[in-house]
Chain A
Amino acid sequence: MANDREEPGPGADPVVISDGHSTDVVALLRQRGCDPFAAVEGRGGDAPAVTHGTTICAIRYVDGVVMAGDRRATAGNIIAHRAMEKVYPADRHSGVAIAGAAGAAMEMVKLFQLQLEHYEKLEGMALSFEGKANTLAQMVRSNLPAAIQMGMVVVPLFAGYDLRRERGRIFTYDYTGGRYEETDYQAEGSGGRDARTTIKLGWHDSLTRDETLELAIQALYEAADEDSATGGPDPIRGLYPKMATITAEGFVDVPDQEVATRFAALIERRRQRGGSVEQAAPPTSVTPKAGRGKSSS
């Protein structure tokens, strides 16, 4: 069982009865010849700049946290993917959202999910919230060579419900693995600044689920309005930002239909407010055009 792919070499013990009590899945994968952070061969210095087109955010509210992210992936000025998901469950009570190089980020999410589940199964209980946040920090740090040499920076946002402290918590990271706890909300990515400002203006300490979702939707709308690398609502294809709530009951996706309805309502409010340069033109019947049009905000 040491390695199910290769015959053990001469003299090697084919039986591994005890691997000690390591719960480190990265070490295990390396030992089995499958290194998730395989050495990056490359020159330092003139690394290609990878743009971080994305907006992801997490907002704390009374029952836990809301996480949200747009769906657009860009390669330079090209839209590479319209339906990318950037908000994932990490385990039952936490979620991770990603900004940065898509391939490395998605791999990191997969590894992080595996690490949390692996630990939980081996030890018979889940890691503490702090432990999960630190695990992710180590993974971001392991990605540092790729970040420096190839510009493959991954900046995750980790949030969830801390069952021991009974409240929502949010952690942000820098590409060196630095880990910072945010008290109330945070947004990352190229549209992060616009989203953050929007949240800042609407946030207070007793937000309900409804109010928080509304705030997140506004934040993503403003980010998409200002940032070309952040995708807005796309009613033609039926693609909307991904949103989830994480409470004591666990990670729950906000249904697409609910997200769509909330965006439609927001767009309608903006349209009624007026102020568009197209105002003189007869109102269009198709919502998306109105959604994409210039807004006065």
Chain B
Amino acid sequence: MPFYVSPEQVMNDKAQYARKGIARGRSLVGMVYDEGILLAAENPSEVLHKISEIYDRIAFAGAGKYSEYDSLRRQGVQFADVRGYQYSREDVDARSLANAYAQVMNHVFTTEIKPLEVEILVAEVGHTTETDQLFRITFDGIVMDDDHYSVLGGESEPVAERLKDSWQAGLSLGDALRTARAALAGPERTIEPASLEVAVLSRSNGRRAFRRIDGEPLAELLGP
């Protein structure tokens, strides 16, 4: 016997399913500092990255199910490399990449049985702080153009709440990093440098702005 389920119900169920999946992962933040954009995530693994390079000035970060955001990351690299080859390196920008991601994620959300359990961030460092861009794309393909900082993943709301108070313009890299760690950890705990994945898109880094920070340099920046 055929039965009817309202579209609202279907969408609500899918959204709830996706949110549950994303909530299982830890949070990550992206924020503007004086020299570029800092990306920091709580990640106990040193090889399964949440944060990666897409193109000269563009980085990617994913929260939620690793296999799904890693697949999106690969597609992003392909999208950017093909476009840069066809036209020019300058013609690869975060906005068009974010739109392409939104298309894919929206398509999966509306047509597939299982939605993607991911939330992703596409960051592009500009030539000045004013032109730095942070695009957050949710599991259903909604794009948000964030100012100053973005928070993704499980407990994003309390983290965003904390950043609202602690983020300020013109932070140095060290200050930004400590702010990000405090926001991710909350008042009750601290995150060891070993479980922190950190990368920057730095204006002073040459053509490829992306650089990972780990080990000794990370510990030094975080301070005692």
B85 adjacent to chain A (CB < 8 Å)? yes
CA of A98 to CA of B47 in the docked complex: distance in angstroms? 37
Is B100 interfacial (CB 8 A cutoff)?
yes
CB < 8 Å neighbour of B107 from A15, A18, A25, A117? A15
Cα(A14)–Cα(B111), bound, Å: 12
Q: Quote the shortest CB–CB distance from B197 to chain A (angstroms).
A: 12
- B74 x A19 contact (CB < 8 A): yes
**Interface residue count for B (Cβ, 8 Å)?**
24
For the complex, what is the distance from the CA of A32 to the CA of B83, rounded to whole Å? 10
In the assembly, what is the distance between CA of A288 and CA of B74, in Å? 53
Task: Decide: A124 and B74 in contact? CB cutoff 8 A.
Answer: no
A280 to B114, CA, bound (A): 90
Residue from the set A1, A18, A28 with the largest chain B CB neighbour count within 10 Å = A1
Q: Chain B residues near A121 (CB, 8 Å)?
A: 52-54, 77, 81
Once the chains bind, are B100 and A17 in contact (CB under 8 Å)?
A: no
Q: Is the CB of A32 within 8 A of B82?
A: yes
Q: CB of B131 within 8 A of chain A?
A: no
A124 to B74, CA, bound (A): 11
- Interchain nearest-CB distance for B117 vs A (Å): 14
B218 within 8 A of A: no
The proximity string for A residues 1-45 relative to B, scoring 1 for CB distances below 8 Å and 0 otherwise, is 100100000000011111100000100110010101000000000
Contact flag A1-B103 (CB < 8 Å), given A15-B108, A16-B75, A121-B54:
yes
Contacts of A118 in B (CB 8 A): 77-78, 81
Residues of chain B within 8 A (CB-CB) of A110 are 85
- Shortest CB-to-CB span from B220 to chain A, Å, is 21
Q: Per-position contact with B for A76-113: 1 when CB-CB < 8 Å, else 0?
A: 00000000000000000000000000000000001100
Verify if A122 is at the interface (C-beta below 8 Å from B): yes
The contact size tier of chain A is 20 to 34
Q: Mark A103-135, 1 if CB is under 8 A from B, else 0.
A: 000000011001001100110100000000000
Specify which chain B residues have a CB less than 8 angstroms from the CB of A15 in the assembled complex. 104, 107-108
> With a CB–CB cut-off of 8 A, which chain B residues contact A28?
78, 81-82
B86, CB-defined interface residue at 8 Å: yes
Q: Determine whether B79 belongs to the interface, using a CB cutoff of 8 Å to chain A.
A: yes
- CB pair B81–A25 under 8 Å, yes or no, is yes
A124 touching B52 in the complex, CB below 8 Å, given contacts A1-B79, A1-B103, A19-B75:
yes
Considering only CB atoms, which chain B residue lies closest to A16 in the complex?
B75
Q: Is B95 located at the chain interface by the 8 A CB criterion?
A: no
CA of A240 to CA of B135, assembled, Å: 45
Secondary structure of the B contact surface, majority rule: helix
Chain A residue with Cβ nearest B77: A121
**Cα A228 to Cα B168 with chains together (Å):** 63
Cα distance A114–B101 when bound, in Å? 22
The answer to whether B81 and A17 have CB atoms under 8 Å apart is no
Contact between chains at A34 and B85 (CB < 8 Å)? yes
Q: Are B77 and A122 in contact (CB under 8 A)?
A: yes
Report the Cα distance A28→B77, complex, angstroms: 11
Chain A residue with the shortest CB-CB distance to B68: A17
Known: A16-B75, A19-B75. A29 touches B104 (CB 8 A): no
Known: A18-B71, A124-B49. Is A29-B107 also a contact (CB below 8 A)?
no
Which A residues are in CB contact (< 8 Å) with B104? 1, 15, 17
Interface residues as binary, B63-89 with A (CB distance below 8 Å gives 1, 0 otherwise): 000000001001101110111111000
Residues from chain A with Cβ under 8 Å of B84 in the complex: 114
8 closest Cβ pairs, A-B complex: A1-B100, A121-B77, A15-B107, A118-B81, A32-B82, A1-B104, A121-B53, A18-B71
A-B contact pairs, 23 of them (CB 8 A): A4-B79, A4-B82, A14-B107, A16-B75, A17-B75, A17-B108, A19-B75, A19-B78, A25-B81, A25-B85, A32-B82, A34-B86, A110-B85, A111-B85, A114-B81, A117-B81, A118-B78, A118-B81, A121-B52, A121-B53, A122-B74, A122-B77, A124-B49
Which residues in A have some Cβ–Cβ distance to B below 8 Å? 1, 4, 14-19, 25, 28-29, 32, 34, 36, 110-111, 114, 117-118, 121-122, 124
User: Which residue numbers of B lie inside 8 Å of A, CB to CB?
Assistant: 47, 49, 52-54, 71, 74-75, 77-79, 81-86, 96, 100-101, 103-104, 107-108
Can you name 13 extra interface pairs (CB under 8 A) apart from A4-B96, A118-B81? A1-B100, A4-B82, A4-B83, A15-B107, A17-B75, A17-B108, A19-B74, A25-B81, A111-B85, A114-B85, A118-B77, A121-B52, A121-B77
